[in-house]
Amino acid sequence: MSYKKEKIEIPKQLDEVVNKAIYDGLSTPLKKNRELKIFGGTVLTLFIVFVTFLNTIPVFAKTMYEIDIIGDICKIFTFREYHFEDDYEYIDVSIPHIDLNGNDDLENRVNLEISKLIDEEVEASKTRAKEYYDAFIATGGNPEDFYPIYVNINYEIKHISDKFASFVINKSETLASAYNIGYYYNIDLETGRILNLQDIFGSGYQKIIADEIDKQISKMDKDFQDSLLIDGSVIDYIDEFQEFYINDEGQIVIVFPKYEISVGALGTLEFVIEGE
């Protein structure tokens, strides 16, 4: 099986258009009637109180998630949230914390890695935003016409059970679509280990996964196949660092970030693989 390679140039004006839209949305008040303002104010007050509890009282945060979705073996909750803004960027961050109920070594290692990862991503975004601003000014741009870069870092729980915990740290940045990225964590709660694909499918994991993905691609329409940037089997794009998560059904979902195996219009590609 062979797939067509194709390169698509991203319009230079795209970043400016996206940033302007987000900036306008953040800075333009909505027109609401008096009743809606009262209701919105009440909801906002309750939300602020709730977030304050989550950020200042860890026991409350743990209890909320424990009651709602987690159980006793693993708890994942919002450890801290913050907003930062200046002339160059708007940054919103939600930092998760995982509690493995006794497996302190893995718990500390994962939480430390997450904290370090988010700090590094925030600093990298600040540097890019400043460089983008300086380039804008250097090419004759008016500072008043510059639309700050918007950065959002959050997390999403993909799967939680008495056996596995799977979640992703998501980062989006309007400077360029290439800066949209996900960091996936899959934990075997029985062994206390970070899962990899070989743990799940065995030493032949590359062929097992590639055969299933190739089969799914062969059933796609021609436009989809023509938008792929790979030749031959997808096996050449699967290695020990392949991103994946576990979905609600307990299935393995292989993730290919935008532009990795296809043109940007297809976005991030996901393929569900049945586990053994």
pLDDT tens, position by position, 196-242: 999 999 999 999 999 999 999 999 999 999 999 988 789 999 998 99
Residue 62: partners with Cβ closer than 8 Å, 6 or more residues away: 75, 77, 99
Predicted TM-score (pTM) of the model is 0.73
Could you read off the pLDDT tens digit of each residue along the chain, which spans 276 residues? 434 334 344 444 545 554 555 445 544 444 344 344 344 444 444 444 444 444 444 444 443 443 334 456 789 999 999 999 999 999 999 999 999 887 889 999 999 999 999 999 999 999 999 999 999 999 999 999 998 999 999 999 999 998 999 999 999 998 755 568 999 999 999 888 999 999 999 999 999 999 999 999 999 999 999 999 988 789 999 998 999 999 999 999 999 998 899 998 898 999 999 755
pLDDT at residue 249 in the model: 94
Cα–Cα dist 127/60, whole Å: 35
